Structure formats: C-alpha cells, structure tokens
Amino acid sequence: MPSGFRFVPRREGRILPGSGTMRAPYGLEIIESCLSCPHREDRLFCNLPAPALQALTAITSPAAYPKGATLFVEGQSPRGVFILCSGKVKLSTSSADGRTLILRIAEAGEVLGIPASVTGKPYELTADVLEPTQANFIHRQDFLNFLRDHGEAALRVAQQLGETYHSAIAEMRSIGLSHSVSEKLARFLLDLSPRQDETKGEVRVTLTLTHEEIAQMIGSSRETVTRLFTDFKKKQLLQVKGSTLIIKNKAALESLVTP
C-alpha cells in the first residue's frame, strides 16, 4: 500500500493530502489536488480562478470508493458534498414499499449533495457508486464558508443546480408523457447516444446499467425491459456485446418516440 494512503471500506475511503496523482485501489489515478486536475478546463465547478482552487483544495479530502459503495442515503442529515472526479454515481429515491426510481446517473465533474448541504435539509436522494470512483468530500460548514468567500464558486453552484433542475424536468417529461414502455426505453437508449459518433449507420455506447436499473430509470419492471430488449434485437434495432450496446438502426428507434 502506498505511503500516506488510508482506505476505509465503503463509506470513508480516503487518501490523505499530498501532491499530484497516485495509484489507488480499483485502478484509479487519484487526483489529490484541484490545482493538478487534468480536467479543469472541462468541468464547471473545477474551472475556477487559482485563489478559489487553492481554498477548495485546502478543505477537500480525496477519497476512493469501490463499485457498490454508498456516498449518502435519502433522509440522512447532510454531512457535506462530494466532488465527483471520476466514475459514475446512481442517484435514486425509494418508496416505503421498496420500489426504487433512478432519477439520473451523475458523471465526473458534478458536485453531489449540494441542495441538502445548502439548505440543511436531509439528503433527498441516495447516491450509490456504479464503478470505481473518486469522490472527494467537503464538510458542509467548510463548503458553506467557501461559497460565502468565493462568489464565482457560488455562481457555478447555482448553475449546476439549474442544470440539475432542467434535467429532472426532462426526466419527468420522458417518464410521464411517453405513451408506452417501449417508447420510454427507446428514448432512454437514444439519450445515451447523442454525443457518440455514428459509423455506417451504427452507434456504439457503453451500457453499465443492468436491466433492473434501466427499469428503475424508466418506471417499469425488469421483466418488461428484458422482453423489450429481446424484441428490439429481433427487429435489428440494436445489438448487445458484453457492455457495448450497438444501435444498428437509430432512425427506426427514433420512430418509436413521440415528438
């Protein structure tokens, strides 16, 4: 184990402050400082002036999490926020009878737990890690003090809250206004592919979600999703090779979606 590294399973995996990057469990290259992050120009919250980044680094604890770890739980008092440096995190809500709805999948560059940390109300969602992930933690009071002292950072946070709101509205529209489960699934698959290059009429995307998780995203059952995947494959709309989803006929899939 590298010098200066301390790992606590599931909830509090952590790398003590240092400089640059280092190799950690799960094959991650840990970014120990916002100042040395190679993705600063691509990420809304990280692309801040040097003084703000220095202040952010001073209050941030780099942490690595395995697949299946939980960052926070719906209803839990807010401890703080998590800067998602790499990996993906599933954000979901559950009913009293155990039904789960996945609202969205958070990706690198996002800051998770902002609404609860700003308002002081419990976390509104549960955040589960989908793949080995670096999610750096900032205690709530440190985060609030940081926003008070750095206006541009506060503006970036407001922008992310706005984007999250619009994303949630789009998701509700997709689930609530679709006429059938097949339309919901087609819309979900098309939403995976807008930034992918189309080669010879085919679009390839990496699908990391299980049929159960896809069902939780579109408000359906695992059995229905599995049946529809089989139907789409029979109709030559798509093909699945391991974790790679190949959309073979994007136009036909788009025809299933009501404008």
Residues of the chain with CATH 2.60.120.10: 5-175
Structure tokens at 194: 């807008």
User: Is the Cβ–Cβ distance between 48 and 150 less than 8 Å?
Assistant: yes
Q: Which CATH code fits 5-175? A: 2.60.120.10
pLDDT of residue 163: 82
pLDDT of residue 250: 86
User: Is the Cβ–Cβ distance between 48 and 95 less than 8 Å?
Assistant: no
> Strands across the sheet with 64-65, in order?
64-65, 133-139, 80-86, 111-112
Q: What is the chain's Cα-based Rg? A: 20
pLDDT (tens, 9 = 90+) of the chain, 259 residues, equals 333 333 333 333 343 334 444 455 656 666 666 666 655 555 666 678 888 888 998 999 988 999 999 999 999 999 999 999 889 999 999 888 888 888 888 888 889 999 999 999 999 999 999 999 999 999 999 999 999 999 989 998 888 888 878 877 777 776 666 678 898 899 888 887 765 555 556 888 888 888 999 998 888 889 999 999 999 999 999 988 888 888 988 888 888 887 6
Give residues with Cβ within 8 angstroms of 257, minimum separation 6.
178, 183, 186, 187, 190
Give residues with Cβ within 8 angstroms of 175, minimum separation 6.
184, 218, 219
Q: Is CATH 1.10.10.10 the right assignment for the domain spanning 180-254?
A: yes
pLDDT of residue 40: 53
pLDDT of residue 4: 32
pTM: 0.71
Residues of the chain with CATH 1.10.10.10: 180-254
Structure tokens at 139: 């205690």
pLDDT of residue 200: 59
- In 66-197, where does DSSP find H-type helix? 114-119, 140-149, 151-177, 181-192
